[in-house]
Amino acid sequence: MDGTTYLADYTPYPFNIDKVSLRFRLAPHATRVQAHIAMTPLSPGAALRLDGEQLRLISAAIDGVALTPSDYLITPSGMTVHPAALPEAPFTLETEVEIAPEGNTALEGLYMSNGMYCTQCEAEGFRKITYYPDRPDVMAPFRVRIEGDLPVLLSNGNPVASGPGWAEWDDPWPKPTYLFALVAGDLVAHSGSFTTASGREVALNIYVRPGDEDHCAFALGALQRSMKWDEEAYGREYDLDIFNIVAVDDFNMGAMENKGLNIFNSKLVLASPETATDTDYERIEAVIAHEYFHNWTGNRITCRDWFQLCLKEGLTVFRDQSFTADMRLGPVKRIEDVIALRARQFREDQGPLAHPPRPDHYREINNFYTATVYEKGAEVVGMLRTLVGDEGYRKALDLYFERHDGQACTIEDWIKVFEDSSGRDLGQFKRWYTDAGTPRLRVTDDYADDTYTLTFEQQTPPTPGQPHKTPRHMPIAVGLLSPNGNEVVPTTVLEMTEARQSFTFTGLSTRPVPSILRNFSAPAVLERATSAAEQAFLLAHDTDPFNRWEAARSLARQTLMDMTKGAPPAAEYLDAIGRLLADDTADPAFRALILRLPGEDEIAQALHASGTTPDPEAIHTARGALMTTLAQRHEVALSATYESMAVPGAYTPDAAPAGCRSLRLAALALLSQIDGARRAEALFASADNMTESLGALSNLITAGKAEGALAQFRSRWKDVRLVMDKWFLVQASLCPPQTAAERVTTLATDPAFEWKNPNRFRSLLGGFSANHAGFHRADGAGYRFYADWLIRLDPLNPQTAARMSTAFETWPRYDKTRQALVRTELERIAATDGLSRDLSEMTARLLG
């Protein structure tokens, strides 16, 4: 494919960058950037190739002598200085360019958001700032001078000097350009401090727009907790005198780990009980931690090239998941992570966008910031830890930091530290990084003469470009229970390396009940013929909390799949929910997870995997019917749960009260099916926090009784951007599917639909694509609406348009009529004049 980059083509950069000095003279339409780049040639005779896009070159010189136009070549993608114009000894390249941040709607490079300058350079945004080798393996110390008529002027590293209208920053740690950041604006700081284990005093600041400063306390506390945790769990200390976070309203991603100057989407910083839900709080804490943890896993040790993105992302997601598990309830966090993994990554693996955690080619790297690179990348790190044990893992990580600090590394380097520290051969394990697809694990068992045998067969379905796969090295955690519910074999990790492999357990006087893939020890789909009675037994007796939940989930999923084909709800499932409601010993957050039914997309995924074409309307109907049946059957217990889980006193976002609210709202969702949404109306009127207010509103929307509440919610929150995002999101995702396309079409004409803001765009469009039966409506109106908006957004913000096109990735699951309707829309997008590289790569891959 034209313009494709291949992993196999990697070559080191032929110059070393010794030091970079940048001077910015800020102006919305004509910012001047002067660069002094001290470099040493490493390969005599090599041309000097610099990336640069949308730059107006003002001047260029080497060691103070101006270059003439015959010394270099400028193209739309960069600048090449001819070897003849280059000294053989170290030299300094001086350039000056002009850029226009005000007109930068792609939000990559230097751009403006509400009068504030900010940057986003990962992956390849720095080339829109100045001419430079914009690749992660070129690392250098940066000094930055900012001149601009704004009160706050920030960059990476430590502040070294400032005066009215200017400031200078120095970052002593060599870094690649994707970690460069600059912020200038009328901002206020919420400040604090942290003392590291070795006694370094670090100033902490969270910069926000005036008026938002009293919504930062939770984020600051999360940062302090993260800094302490990384010292305790990984022995990693912070390494500068200052750590700044800036909240920005217009941001394509969640947040960015620029060295010493993290830039965050404001929705992942700002929180108050009235405006943020429990889920928002948990997410803020996790993302603050994630970006902070990157200081070691990403910044100090970075990626050699973008194919290695999961080296920093998989590891850092694994670290933030462990952090949240320690701050909150470990088993609940694990279940939530697996729900998200299946919803996003398994779905990706099942469709035309499937790719390995480490891909080997791309056209636009922005399109590979995916669930596979992040969430599956984290699962692979978790399997490594399972294989070498907790102590072995810490030993390997210590070696990783010791051996590779200051380097740009590869997945091979990463695996090598585990091999060297454990003495194990992980050659086969590496396939988890290089092969796409979710393995399917078929299990059969046998019992004779006090011996129990488990036989596993693994097989990974074909994925684009990888028709055949060889077996993977898979850790399978197993426990065995006796028929009376006692555990007779505690958790044991079996290591599967063959396509088909048996494991035996001896000395068992009765046939045991197996609990397989405990704590979800490998990201695989378990295929085992089990009865509903056995699932109910595991839900009641398994000592592994994950597999207890998994048993309930499998029961619910199977019941819903059967109901789409006309079967009645399984009695075992209905009874099991009754026992769970009566079980006060189980944690409320855990009970809430069991009470919530699988989403419609998960049911569609399961039907497709079992060889049935999913019918979105039938799934929606079945799910509603099961909720009604559960509510009728357990009305008394649900009502008691709803009452008893009310949290008295002032709101706090801590795990315990959040778990009670979660269970309370799960009960409310069922009760609203049969009480005319009476309780939801009362809760909406009385709620003093966003969690319950939004939970009540959601039920009113599902019940079709929300018009008054929506108007009231809107008039109360019309000036609070992050809450108005929720107003769009809940309507788009939960309104009745039959008329959802009309509903979102109307919402898109609402004056508050500021579609150029990525958060607002994602609220409406992302919310709508989550309305499974609405998006997949048989007449194709949903697909048409969605495609129209991707086409409209693409010229302004190709990155967000391309990412949101993944809503179409499930099209091969559905019937021929829907497939044809999606194909028509994808072909219409592909045929659009001037389509971005981002979106054209995505439509080509989606069309296969």
In the complex, which residues of this chain contact Zn ion (CB under 5 A)?
313, 316
Long-range contacts, stretch 811-820, CB < 8 angstroms, 24+ apart? 811/351, 811/846, 812/351, 812/352, 813/350, 813/351, 813/604, 813/605, 813/608, 813/613, 813/614, 814/613, 814/614, 814/616, 814/776, 815/613, 815/615, 817/778, 818/776, 818/778, 818/780
- CA 720 from chain centre, in angstroms, equals 25
What are the tokens at 18? 């010794």
Q: How far apart are CA 592 and CA 629, in angstroms?
A: 18
What are the tokens at 24? 């910015």
Q: How far apart are CA 196 and CA 193, in angstroms?
A: 10
Nearer to Zn ion, 313 or 725 (CB): 313
Are 191 and 171 spatial neighbours (Cβ–Cβ below 8 Å)?
Answer: no
Nearer to Zn ion, 313 or 364 (CB): 313
Least distance to Zn ion from the beta carbon of 172, Å? 23
Alpha-helical regions (H) of 295-443: 309-327, 330-340, 347-350, 371, 377-404, 411-422, 431-434
Least distance to Zn ion from the beta carbon of 294, Å? 6
Are 805 and 829 spatial neighbours (Cβ–Cβ below 8 Å)?
Answer: yes
Least distance to Zn ion from the beta carbon of 316, Å? 5
What are the tokens at 558? 């199977």
Least distance to Zn ion from the beta carbon of 348, Å? 18
Going 645 to 650 to 651 to 657, the CA torsion angle's sign is negative
Least distance to Zn ion from the beta carbon of 409, Å? 16
Least distance to Zn ion from the beta carbon of 377, Å? 10
Nearer to Zn ion, 319 or 548 (CB): 319
Helix %, strand %, coil % of the chain (to 5): 45, 20, 30
Are 156 and 141 spatial neighbours (Cβ–Cβ below 8 Å)?
Answer: no
Least distance to Zn ion from the beta carbon of 290, Å? 6
Which of 104, 113, 100, 109 has its CA nearest to residue 208? 113
Nearer to Zn ion, 299 or 316 (CB): 316
Nearer to Zn ion, 166 or 369 (CB): 369
Nearer to Zn ion, 212 or 313 (CB): 313
Nearer to Zn ion, 296 or 573 (CB): 296
**Non-local CB neighbours of 495 within 8 Å, separated by 6+ positions:** 387, 473, 474, 475, 476
Least distance to Zn ion from the beta carbon of 293, Å? 8
Q: How far apart are CA 763 and CA 731, in angstroms?
A: 10
Nearer to Zn ion, 253 or 694 (CB): 253
Are 784 and 825 spatial neighbours (Cβ–Cβ below 8 Å)?
Answer: yes
Q: Which amino acid is at 138?
A: V
Residue 795: burial class (beta carbons within 10 Å; 0-12, 13-18, 19+): middle
Nearer to Zn ion, 316 or 757 (CB): 316
Residue 646 is given by DSSP the state: P
Q: What are phi and psi of 758, to 5 degrees?
A: -55, -40
Least distance to Zn ion from the beta carbon of 448, Å? 51
Q: What Å distances lie between residue 421 and 70, 319, 412, 469, CA to CA?
A: 54, 20, 14, 29
Are 299 and 173 spatial neighbours (Cβ–Cβ below 8 Å)?
Answer: yes
The DSSP result for 662-694, as a single string, is: HHHHHHHHHHTTTSTTHHHHHHHHH--SHHHHH
| Residue length of the chain | 848
Beta bridge partners of 459: 440
Nearer to Zn ion, 289 or 343 (CB): 289
Long-range contacts, stretch 198-205, CB < 8 angstroms, 24+ apart? 198/237, 200/237, 200/238, 200/241, 201/241, 202/227, 202/238, 202/240, 202/241, 202/242, 202/243, 203/241, 203/242, 203/243, 204/242, 204/243, 204/244, 205/242, 205/243, 205/244, 205/245
Least distance to Zn ion from the beta carbon of 374, Å? 7
Nearer to Zn ion, 236 or 553 (CB): 236
Nearer to Zn ion, 51 or 291 (CB): 291
Least distance to Zn ion from the beta carbon of 50, Å? 27
Q: Given 124, 147, 282, 291, which residue is catalytic? A: 291
Least distance to Zn ion from the beta carbon of 318, Å? 11
Which of 514, 521, 558, 559 has its CA nearest to residue 538? 514
Active site annotation includes 291: yes
Q: How far apart are CA 275 and CA 280, in angstroms?
A: 9
**Non-local CB neighbours of 816 within 8 Å, separated by 6+ positions:** none
Place of tokens 């003392």: 195
Least distance to Zn ion from the beta carbon of 136, Å? 13
What are the tokens at 724? 């108005």
Nearer to Zn ion, 313 or 550 (CB): 313
123 preceded by a cis bond (ω within 30 of 0): yes
Q: How far apart are CA 333 and CA 339, in angstroms?
A: 10
Q: Is 114 helix (H, G, I), strand (E, B) or coil?
A: coil
Catalytic site positions: 291
